[in-house]
């Protein structure tokens, strides 16, 4: 299993034009899909020739790899910094993690880059598919560490293993964001985030709040 690192994936300087290409390609993947945009779309939007794009990224697959690497690095650096910060509560770290999803939900059609790519996984070049899988594994591993830390500190009450809870948390966020894009209902994601947090809540006796309620219901 990979571990999120703050080390940059690519130290080669990127020109301003290449950054503009990467920015637009990222948005197009998030709002359309990898398969639904072309170099002509980028050239037209930026007012450059397709040859200029090929100069920086010889193939669409190379561009896709660069977009995913940059996206994963941006997330990875932020999460690695949080890993080193022992002053924040585990709940604060989860809030930080959920924030990008909530920000995407405020747009008409943007979703997580790797979530968008996963929807067309079988059509992706192998090198992009591998990176998307790595992104998912890294984020689930980070969530598992934060959940385990929260449980050890008495901040969370886990009903199952941290790894399983992390998978549930990650999958629910990704799925809710896609549902929100389809329905346009922002509460889809907000409700899922609230429900996920409630599954981790601890009552004053140090037990999972939901478990106590379930036991009471069974006695009735």
Average pLDDT, the chain: 89
CA distance 164 to 169: 9
173 in Cβ contact with 192 (< 8 Å): yes
Check pLDDT > 50 for residue 215.
no
Give me the pLDDT at residue 14, please.
79
Domains of the chain: 67-219 (1.10.357.10)
CA distance 120 to 39: 19
Q: Among 35-44, 186-195, 209-218, name the one with the lowest average pLDDT.
A: 209-218
- Secondary structure class of 202 (helix, strand, coil): strand
CA angle 151, 76, 83 (to 5 degrees): 35
Give me the pLDDT at residue 112, please.
97
105 in Cβ contact with 177 (< 8 Å): yes
């Amino acid at each position: 299993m990979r571990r999120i690192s703050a080390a940059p994936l690519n130290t080669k300087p990127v020109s301003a034009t290449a950054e503009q290409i990467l920015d637009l390609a990222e948005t197009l993947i998030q709002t359309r899909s990898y398969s639904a945009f072309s170099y002509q779309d980028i050239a037209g939007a930026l007012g450059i020739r397709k040859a200029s794009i090929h100069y920086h990224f010889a193939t669409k697959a190379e561009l896709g790899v660069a977009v995913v690497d940059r996206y994963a690095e941006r997330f990875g650096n932020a999460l690695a910094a949080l890993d080193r910060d022992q002053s924040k509560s585990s709940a604060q770290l989860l809030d930080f993690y959920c924030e990008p999803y909530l920000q995407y939900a405020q747009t008409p059609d943007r979703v997580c880059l790797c979530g968008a790519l996963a929807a067309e996984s079988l059509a992706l070049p192998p090198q992009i598919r591998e990176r998307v899988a790595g992104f998912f594994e890294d984020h689930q591993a980070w969530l598992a560490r934060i959940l385990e830390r929260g449980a050890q500190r008495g901040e969370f009450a886990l009903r199952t293993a941290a790894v399983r809870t992390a998978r549930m948390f990650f999958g629910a966020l990704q799925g809710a964001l896609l549902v929100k894009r389809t329905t346009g209902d922002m509460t889809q994601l907000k409700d899922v985030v609230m429900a996920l947090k409630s599954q981790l809540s601890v009552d004053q006796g140090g037990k999972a709040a939901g478990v106590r309620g379930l036991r009471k219901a069974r006695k009735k």
